[in-house]
Structure 1
Amino acid sequence: MRRQLLPIECIALILEELRGDCGTLLNCALTHSTWYPHAKRVLYKTIHIGTSKAYSTFLHMISDVHLRDLLGRMEELRFSGFANDPAADKFRTLSRVLVALADLPLPRLRHLAFRSATPPSTIPIHVFPDSFFKTFSSVRCLVLEAPNLRFVGLHRLRHLVSALPQLEDFRILAVRLLILNPVNPVPSIATAHPQPRLQQLHLDFYRGWASRNRPDPETTLLYWLALTPTVQERALRVLRLGTVTSLLNEPEIYYDALAHILECLGPSLTDLQVSIDPKGTSVLSHNPNLESLTLRFDPGMDVPPLPALANTGSPLMTALATLNAPRLRKFRLDLCVVATPAFEGLDPQRQNDDMIRHMEMDWKPLDELAARKQWEATINVEYLLCGNWKPKPEKVHVERYHLQVEEELKKLAWHARGTLRLGYTIVAK
């Protein structure tokens, strides 16, 4: 009896689902002669370079005329740091790769990512050659992810976004965003670029720092964004801002700029992540088409999050009272505990097992909200350890404090209904 085989069209669709899985695609290419051309095509659609050997191989491929056509089919290119090499060699190699790509047409490239996950790694944008913007002109999603990101002046960051004409999705994921203003500022590389028209913007970092620069870089970025077609033409659909506002120099100006942007964007936003003003001025009524909402609540330095949260007049409840988004289904609350050595809750020398239990908290306002809205709720507590801790609080001290926080949050109606997820993260600065 002859064995029935899947049509090659089905095999091709299955292989498409393996994008980025190089090992499996190589095995598939060797499985059958009819599979080979399809597996080979998918293999070169997504290229991830994360080791010294991979960088060397990629440079060889660029110089090989027989492989350049395959590279021209790339749709996703990811560079990531390799921890064992010195930073200077790493960035010199990256710059050499980008220069080598200058003459290679990449018309299908849509996703470009630079990641360096090993502290204290930095992605200095000044290693990008002038040819960078021509080579990657087709890119629609740009990701910069590292513990530290460094720009020599805000004009460098603005230029990076504006010089990619098809860019729709821009993401900065970092612990620190360094905006350096030297005595003799470096002039902008180019001035005649169209303003960005982004559909998604993710700015997630714990502190934007700049020497001799006020207002804060976060605020300056928002004012610049408000003048671009991204906001003026209501192009933006997803806005995610992970700012820790208690670390800002002038939080009032930041919230004014944020309120202006939310009002200008109006119904265009469907996914929003913002910080709530501790003074209770945040308004969400301008964005009725939200489907996903993340609110970051930062009550201030060394302030326990729950007492300020669990009452009718809290900044969170004041903001939620202005919300009118019938399509909203996913709600996330990030409680940020910015703790210095003065924060009693994490003092390893004290026994604070009953600290939270003795606080009076009224969850009725949130319970009434849960009863009216069919939301899937997530509450995450983020412990941001700042200052000179001597000694540093051990993970067990943070976990002991968080167990008390979690015990209180489980009293919410969302938990009884089975629609509440709880979590926590620890970030040491």
Structure 2
Amino acid sequence: MGWNPIKDIKKAAKNVAKAVEKGAKDVGKTAEKAAQDAGKTAEKAAQDTGKAVEKAAQDTGKTVEKAAQDTGKTVEKAAQDTGKTVEKAAQDTGKTIEKAFQDTGNELHRAGINTADAAVAVGNFAENQARSMAQTLTDAEKRILEGKIVDAIWHMATDSTRYTEENFGTAISESSLLNNVATAAASIYGGPIGAAAYAAWYTYKQTGDLELALKSGVIAGATAKSLSMVNGLPSNTTDQFTKKVLASASIGAAAVAASGGEEKDIIEGFVKGAALTAAREHYKNMTAEEIEGRAPTKRAIPKPKLDPSIEHEYTILRDESGQPILDSTGKFHQIDIRSLPRDASHVGLATTNRDAGFFSETSTPMQTLAKLPYMNDMAYFHDQWAAVAKMEGVMVQATIVPAIILTVSGTDTPLINQTTEEIEEDATAK
């Protein structure tokens, strides 16, 4: 029999309730009195979660709409039944988010280990592209000698695209880091449709199964769309923030469950979903901007040396009393990064010297690095964080990795990749 979305998603919703209940019991053991007061609003938030998921998925298409409506009702009912359990889980939000960041950090560490694999994969891709071009030219020459001029021109165009697609598929199968970058790029520039298309293509390349490819694409697209809609919800009060965190957490758990994940995987999806909203809100509070992931459209602008006696074009960062924030020498002001162009390159060492070398923001290597998904967002956040915390010396460099972790946690890339991996693992197990 073929894949039954309604059956799978209903089953997923039941697994979500069980997984949430187990995760909530574990977290609830360490709950503190102060957190209990905050947890009282969670029960009502849980009741609204199903409706939020249902509404979010309705835009994904008529086929998915029916399944999503059933899923929304199932999740809503499960959330109502387990409301008290979810309330306990919400009592210690700090520990939940901490665990989410640790999990993301582990992923980032693994990605760092795979950097060498990525370099090898890129090298292999370039080599395969060169071979493919040579083969394309050889085939074109044969067709021309046979008098097939039109065929030669046609295949020159189509074969090039086909070889590139095949070579790219080989490259991402050799490097999880390249796959992460590709997933992010598809979601950033293509939105939910882009996320769905890439997930379906990737799953087909890995499994050769069209049904699994369709399933992967539907789940990825619905997840991206739903998380996008949750991001638009208000979060000005504790109650609103709690609802928002629970909504994204439930979407994460449902997505992993629908992909065939086991209980521990569903809990991981729940935590990633919660961390996503928490990270996005913290980023927004620090920078007054959303995490976009896009590459900068302007070159880096050297930051001026802010001597109090010299006028400058950028806003001075001030404390709550309105006084300028100085560095440890009391000589230079800190820049309010939010007054700088968001779409300019921010990756690299901030300096007034346009020729400061490899690590300066104005250098070609750093501006190239800024074009990777979410790198410029990370640098923008990190610069503001460093200014507010008055970081100096090695602390500036040491906090780059935490800034990367927070920025990546605020995106749907880790969650979408987990769903495609679950589908691939499920196919391998069968």
Whose relative contact order is higher, 1 or 2, with alpha carbons under 8 Å and at least 6 apart?
Answer: 2
Higher helix share: 2
Query: Scaled by the length of structure 1, what TM-score is found?
Result: 0.22
Query: Scaled by the length of structure 2, what TM-score is found?
Result: 0.22
Higher strand share: 1
